[in-house]
Amino acid sequence: MLSQESLRQIDREIAKYPPGRRQSAIMSALRIAQVEKGWLPKEVIEFVADYLGMPPIAAYEVATFYNMYDLRPVGRHKITVCTNLPCALSGGVYAAEYLKKKLGIDFDETTPDGKFTLKEGECMGACGDAPVLLHNNHRMCGFMTTEKIDQLLAELERQ
Amino acid sequence: MSAHALILAGAGGERAWRLQDYAARGGYAALRRIIAGKTPPEAIIAELKTSGLRGRGGAGFPTGLKWSFMPYAFPGDKYLVCNSDEGEPGTFKDRDILRCNPHAVIEGMIIGAWVMGCTRGYNYIHGEIFEIYQRFEEALEEARAAGLLGRNILGSDFSFELFAHHGYGAYICGEETALLESLEGKKGQPRFKPPFPASYGLYGKPTTINNTETFASVPFILGMGGEAFLNLGKPNNGGTKIFSISGHVRHPGNYELNLGTPFPELLAMAGGMRAGRKLKAVIPGGSSAPVLPANIIMDCTLDFDAISKAGSMLGSGAVIVMDETTCMVRALERLSYFYHEESCGQCTPCREGTGWLYRVVRRIERGLGKPDDLDLLRSVAGNISGRTICALGDAAAGPVQSFIKHFADEFAYHIENKKCLVPPLVQEAGSQIYM
């Protein structure tokens, strides 16, 4: 179900917790699985639960509670824009509108070619760099003026 | 960053976060002295009490006192947890601490473990800052390689393991017991207190949780002495504090200042108001802190007691600045949406109440408000406050109550005239950056 590399990474996470506390690694394990698969299908969540020796329902609870897990397929590039108050005061809403126009999609939609998904995000803890967006959960981009958004999209388009 | 920078001292260069750079700035000297001299835990707690260090995560609880609650002689595992799950709108200091000075946090945690007899620690890092999580992992590796973490630290019989735990998007996990649940691999729903974490924490063992900045302050306090640290600030409000300033200012960012610095000084350091506009209101301590109008905040000094006296709270030191182009109804709508989205759903007053608050504020903003909507908002907010397991309910009610209190006219105008007092085009112009 998961690659040897992903399992190696998950094992490294498990080792951080005391013996008998493998469940503590569920958040990292789901993240690692999501990076490999692009999103988290039911079978993958169940596999991870089984790997950690926890009931599948407890793994679903985690997967549905934390909002960076994707329980439905997303585009190759998921872009999450913060529109919370500090960002909104410094162009966050404008950046989101610009992205919508440029990609031709609304929040929670994916472009027809499957390349981009747009999401509205809550505070990312980087309000001083507003407007802020997150690429595929792990790369944060700050001071996103329209020019920088253009550059980012062009870069991702080439990948 | 500022003339007083201790914690943000590594902000100067891209490599300044590394162990050798931290050591060159005097890092790990406090820890080496403690271990070599076998400093008794009580002496360190006394020093922290003298320093006036209060928790930097929002609640402002005295750190020395908190550390004294841990049952030192308790047999078996005890845990130390750093709360770097920074997700309160306006707050972005822990990210910068971990980016430019992660070893200050690590040293503070090792000292904490020494004082409280903890065997194992975790730093819970906010989900959205994966790159910072990776850096912290690297810093941990450096510390392990240098014999500062793990078994027999610096050749002594003291051992302490420290690991990083990565969150994945849940504001509620900044609440300490929700964070513990999350560390145990569950959804982050706060626990009922008591029992408090010092007696029943991670995996049911005694646990102490402090904020990133709190831990990072500890080596500096022990380096300069509690008295000197206290004197940087003012009585009961010792030391420096990092202020994250965002919104309508020219240079948003983190500024480390002595506690008790007048607010206008911080505003000036941030370059003043963007495009020279007029200050309207400030949320001084993260989105959960009550908003203060310009005339009140301009007279405040930035410390726990002064901000509290002015009717708000210093919280995490997140200062959200709003100028005259801000529609307060719209600003509140965005905050109310946040709390509605982030309520964990455990307590009915919060789960249902935050939805009510958001929907009523939204309808006022959209010109569909009813004459008794302000009373309705006050009533719903009042019915959430104090009726939930954790503070998120109060955090959701606080902005609503304070926005209505200080800007009642603007809300009334919205309801009567079905539009903003501030024209939409003016609002849009105000939110533009790089003018």
* Cα of A154 to nearest chain B Cα, Å: 22
Q: What is the tens place of the pLDDT at every residue in B397-422?
A: 999 999 999 999 999 999 999 999 99
Q: How far is B59 from A61, CA to CA, in rounded Å?
A: 29
Shared-domain flag, residues A85 and A59: no
The verdict on residue A36 lying in a domain is yes
Q: Are B163 and B121 in contact (CB under 8 A)?
A: yes
- Give the H or E element holding residue B256: strand B253-258
Counting the structural domains of chain A, the total is: 2
- Whether A31 is in a domain gets the answer yes
pLDDT value for B435:
38
The nearest alpha carbon in chain A to B85 belongs to A125
| Contact call for B90 and A21, based on CB within 8 A | no
Minimum Cα–Cα distance from A131: chain B residue: B433
Residue A40 lies in a domain: yes
A59, A86: one domain: no
Using CA atoms, how far residue B130 sits from B102, B124, B246, B325, in Å, is: 14, 12, 22, 34
Q: Which residue of B lies nearest to A34 if distances are taken between CA atoms?
A: B168
Same-domain status, A96 and A51: no
Residue A28 near residue B185, CB atoms below 8 Å: no
pLDDT digits (tens, 9 = 90+) for B107-165: 999 999 999 999 999 999 999 999 999 999 999 999 999 999 999 999 999 999 999 99
Give residue B14's pLDDT.
Answer: 59
Together in a domain, A26 and A92? no
- Let me know whether A122 and A150 are in one domain: yes
Q: Which of B168, B189, B325, B422 to probe the A interface (max A CBs under 10 A)?
A: B168
Q: Are residues A56 and A88 in the same domain?
A: no
Residue A155 has a CB neighbour count (10 Å cut-off) of 11
Is position A10 within any domain?
yes
Output helix, strand, coil percentages for chain A, rounded to the nearest 5: 50, 15, 35
Pairing relationship of beta strands B240-247 and B253-258 according to DSSP bridges: antiparallel
* Residue A44 shares a structural domain with residue A84: no
Say which DSSP state B418 is in.
Answer: S
C-alpha atoms less than 13 angstroms from C-alpha of B181 in its C-beta half-sphere: 21
Q: For residue A133, list its beta bridge partners.
A: A81, A141
Let me know whether A97 and A44 are in one domain. Answer: no
User: What's the CA gap between B197 and B177, in Å, rounded?
Assistant: 7
Chain B contact for A25 (CB, 8 A cutoff) = yes
Q: Tell me, yes or no, whether A106 and A148 share the same domain.
A: yes
For strand B240-247 and strand B318-323, is the pairing parallel, antiparallel, or unpaired?
parallel
pLDDT value at residue B167: 96
- For residue B253, the cross-strand partners are B245
Last residue of a domain, one of A36, A65, A94: A65
If asked whether residues A30 and A93 sit together in one domain, one would say no
CA distance B110 to B120: 10
Residues 40-99 of A with CB under 8 A from B: 52, 54, 58, 61-62, 64-69, 83-86, 88-94
Q: How confident is the model at residue B15 (pLDDT cuts 50, 70, 90)?
A: low
A70: in domain: no
- Mean pLDDT within B190-214: 96
Domain end (from A17, A36, A65): A65
Question: Angle at CA B411, nearest 5°, toward B405 and B412?
Answer: 105
A24-79 tens-digit pLDDT:
999 999 999 999 999 999 999 999 999 999 999 999 999 999 999 999 999 999 99
Q: Is the CB of A9 inside 8 Å of chain B's CB atoms?
A: no
Domain endpoint, select from A38, A65, A92: A65
Report yes or no on A109 lying in a domain. yes
Q: What is the pTM of this model?
A: 0.96
Residue written as token pair 């946090």: B105
| CATH number of the structural domain spanning residue A11 | 1.10.10.1590
In angstroms, the CA B56 to CA B257 distance is: 13
Comparing alpha-carbon positions, the chain A residue that sits nearest to B270 is: A128
Strand partners, B207: B79
Structural domain includes residue A102? yes
Q: Indicate whether A11 belongs to any domain.
A: yes
Cβ-count burial of B39 within 10 angstroms (0-12 exposed, 13-18 middle, 19+ buried)?
Answer: middle
Return the CATH number at A147.
Answer: 3.40.30.10
Pick from B109, B122, B106, B115: nearest CA to B46: B115
- Predicted ipTM > 0.85: yes
Cβ contact A130:B252 at 8 Å: yes
- H or E stretch at B247: strand B240-247
* Nearest neighbour of A89 by CB, restricted to B171, B248, B338: B248
Query: Which residues constitute the domain of residue A34?
Result: 4-65
The answer on A12 and A39 residing in a single domain is yes
Interchain CB contact of A12 with B (< 8 Å):
no
Strands in B240-247's sheet, in edge-to-edge order, are B253-258, B240-247, B318-323, B279-283, B292-293
Which of A121, A141, A85, A21 lies closest to B79 in space, CA to CA?
Answer: A21
Q: Please give the pLDDT value at position B1.
A: 43
Predicted local confidence at residue B4, as pLDDT: 61
Residues B118-136, buried b or exposed e (16+ Cβ, 10 A)?
bbbbbbbbbbbbbebbebb
Residue B19 pLDDT greater than 70, yes or no: yes
- Does residue A104 sit in the same domain as residue A45? no
